[in-house]
Amino acid sequence: MVEYIKSYLGSSTTPGQAGNVFWASVYILLIFLGLSVAVIAMNWLERKILAHMQVRLGPMRVGPHGLLQPIADAIKLLIKEDIMPSQADGFVFWVAPIVVVITAFTVFIVVPFGPTHAVTDMNIGVLFMLGVSSLSVLGIVMAGWASNSHYPLMGALRSSAQMVSYEIAMGLAVVSAVLMTSLNATGTGTLSMIGIVQSQQAQQVWFAFKFFPLGLIAFFVFAVAMVAETNRAPFDLPEAESELTAGFHTEYSGFRWSLFFLAEYSAMIAVSSIAVTLWLGGWLRPFPHLLSGSTWDLVFSVLPGATFLLLGLMAFVGVFRMPKHPYFRVQTIGLAGFGVILGLIGLLLLPRLLSLCTCTSGIAGPSRAIASISL
């Protein structure tokens, strides 16, 4: 047994790729624990920050400055009575929160936390993430329909329309980042999450700053689509409190509701991690020419890459945007999704496609010219 474990410890390749089942299970456990703690922390931070923005104190009673409040809430939700509406569709009602939670957690098996620190390195990493997170719409639609009530159904319909339409903008933004991976010396792109970060390393630039304003615009489009995908403000129409009470999970209570809650926050972290991997260099440190030397090496070895820092930052942006804006009308969201963002993305993809064509056919001159134009 000890020999068996030791034989795994020596391997230095990616756990999944090398068939290193031991490390893969360790990472799965770590991610599961880390995600749960992160959800608790985000919940506490959100309540505190919102409270302070509105000149309140927020949770103060349980623990110092209400630090233990989320745990108290979790215990309360676990022992609360579980209510199912009598006319609800039993099986679908039961399976919907499970689908949402499974999809939200499954996404994390391809997130790279370091050059070898991931559960697995899939050849189709980005596609896998987009696919699995698009399945979470199903859970929401199922929940809304199975509740057999008007508010949840309206919320689910709004939510699915919004998520499906913003998936297009999200997919196109991701395509622009994947295209940038093919500007390597080898000339072949990749969809693997680790491969994408490695090509940012090879090109010596975060993709958010590649082709200067263009990469940043693509990142911005992804960030907007990301907020819309996770149904956060100002895109929280699916659970607009003033009109739909709580949207698709109005009829859910107790433990089932807490599963939706868990899934919503871990989905936020998941899409943030896609954004960090694609545009903000994953585990690569920022400003490598400025922040080099032994001191910074130590700092960045303590923090395994900048991933966690940036994840935290992006998740924080997702939270604190909430009280600042009133939400949009449905028509505005549709217009913004299809008209503006698709137009922007179209503008973005054109020069990059051109430069790609000239690159692969071996003509370096025009591509450099186009790159300088886009600079």
Partner 1 sequence: MQPVATTFFFYFLSGLTVIAGVLVITRRNPVHSALALILALLGQAGLYLMLYAPFVAGVQIILYAGGIMVLFLFVIMLVNIEKSQKEEQFNKQWVVGILAAVALGVLFVLVYTKGKSLFPDRVAQLPEQSNTQQIAVMLYGNYMFTFEIASLLLLVAIIGAVVMAKKRI
**Which stretches of the chain bind partner 1, using CB under 8 A?**
16-19, 89, 92, 122-124, 127-128, 130-132, 134-135, 137-138, 141-142, 145, 153, 156-157, 160-161, 164, 167, 171, 188-191
Closest distance to partner 1 from the beta carbon of 283 (Å): 21
Q: Which is nearer to partner 1, 190 or 307 (CB)?
A: 190
Q: Which is nearer to partner 1, 72 or 161 (CB)?
A: 161
Contact 341, 221 (CB under 8 A): yes
Q: How far is the CB of 109 from partner 1 (least distance, A)?
A: 14
Give 188 or 332: the residue with its C-beta nearer to partner 1: 188
DSSP-assigned states of every residue in 55-70: T---S-SSSGGGTTHH
Smaller CB separation from partner 1, 142 or 233: 142
Q: Which two tokens stand for residue 232?
A: 């956060």
Q: Which is nearer to partner 1, 68 or 89 (CB)?
A: 89
CB within 8 Å of 182: residues ≥ 6 apart: 188, 189, 356, 359, 360
For 205, the token pair is 């630039």
Contact, 139 vs 287, CB < 8 A? no
DSSP state of 65: G
- CB nearer to partner 1: pick between 133 and 266: 133
| Nearest-angstrom CA–CA distance, 271 and 312 | 12
Least distance CB 171 / partner 1 (angstroms): 8
Tokens 């749960």 sit at which residue?
Answer: 36
Alpha helices in 280-338 (DSSP H): 294-302, 307-320, 330-335
Q: How far apart are CA 204 and CA 317, in angstroms?
A: 26
CB of 57 to partner 1, least distance (A): 42
Q: What is the smallest separation between the CB atom of 362 and partner 1, expressed in angstroms?
A: 16
